[in-house]
Amino acid sequence: MRADRLLSIMLLLQVHRRITARTLAQRLEVSERTIQRDMEALSVSGIPIISERGSGGGWGLLEEYRTNLTGLSESEVQALFLTRPNRLLSDLGLSQASEAAFIKLLAALPSMSRHNAEYARQRFYIDATGWRTPEEALPCLSVLQGAVWQESRLLFSYQRDAKQVERLVNPLGLVAKGSTWYLVAQIEGDIRTYRVSRIREARILPESFERPVDFDLATFWEQSTVAFKSNLPSYFVTLRALPELVPFLRNAGYYSHVEQIGEEDEEGWVKVFMRFDVESAALACLSGFGADVEVLEPEELREKIIDQARRMLAFYEQRSERREAMVERP
């Protein structure tokens, strides 16, 4: 609803000294033209909105203006009390502070809103970790967190392949992908991402830095994620499989993904289209299903699986012959 959006714009303007139309459009999931019309509507209604052009510009409110229109709807209360990633808060050392804030916020709500919050909390729980997520050691996370908060330069050693390298960076933010932490940092004018579990030692330097004016952590992460996925190697395989094996193919691992499932053929098998990162991953995965999966394309992969099956059969026949010979030996 437009009224909710106008209120959200006012609150965002009150929180941020300056905010661009593009950022508002992204946050509120509308077009920049819609934001322009909303700004005109707020201005006509008497809200003291100002606009500045150029680098560092954007929309803002006169500093002395404040609004107290902060009432929460039922769905807003439920959403607020559902988003508590306990594991990640614990990583940051904020689990107790989060619980204290939760109690204070709950106590500050009207009785009906408090009921909605507790109702949602008892019926939904969000666990952001996967079943097979390995526990990663994060000895330097607190140091990185301090550097990000203080906007201080950071010197750290990073495990890259089989060697350690040193990096001097401007830490811009920390991102949790599932339960895996990443440091987003600026180095020599470029912005890069480092997996926190690979950082061995870190030291905050007594030097501050200026954040890029147009940098937005969420936008950067979304764009870099899209770029990362588009640059992943792809190896496509077409195969036939028994229908009951499809769930196992979906969870096979090996950096694989089931792209499409076809209809059952006259023999009761289904055609499956899969994507792997590399051929070796497809070979390791699909050969393990034995005769319950038939690779159709590419032909080279089919031939390699046949060759591997022959070598495995020859190996076990040879071993069986040796064992029989040893048993017969007096």
Dump pLDDT digits (tens) for 18-69.
Answer: 888 888 888 888 888 898 888 888 888 788 888 887 776 788 887 776 665 5
Average pLDDT, rounded, for the chain: 83
Q: What are the beta bridge partners of residue 297? A: 238
Looking at the fold, whether 87 and 31 belong to one and the same domain comes out as no
Looking at the fold, whether 223 and 260 belong to one and the same domain comes out as no
pTM: 0.62
Dump pLDDT digits (tens) for 82-106.
Answer: 666 777 777 788 777 777 777 777 7
CATH of the domain at 161: 2.30.30.520
**Which amino acid makes up residue 105?**
L
Query: What is the pLDDT, as a whole number, of residue 182?
Result: 93
In a domain, 126, yes or no: no
CA distance 317 to 7: 76
Dump pLDDT digits (tens) for 222-266.
Answer: 999 888 878 878 899 999 999 898 889 988 876 788 999 988 888
Question: How far is residue 72 from each of residues 105, 117, 132, measured CA to CA in Å?
Answer: 12, 11, 37
Last residue of a domain, one of 188, 205, 230: 230
CATH of the domain at 40: 1.10.10.10
Nearest to 248 by CA among 308, 300, 292: 292
Q: Which residues of 26-54 are buried (b: 16+ CB within 10 A; e: fewer)?
A: bebeeeeebbeebbeebeeeebebeeeee
- Position with higher pLDDT, 100 vs 211: 211
pLDDT at 301 over 90: yes
Looking at the fold, whether 224 and 211 belong to one and the same domain comes out as yes
Which residues constitute the domain of residue 297?
235-319
Nearest to 255 by CA among 278, 221, 229: 278
Nearest to 62 by CA among 52, 53, 71: 52
Cis peptide before 139 (omega within 30 of 0): no
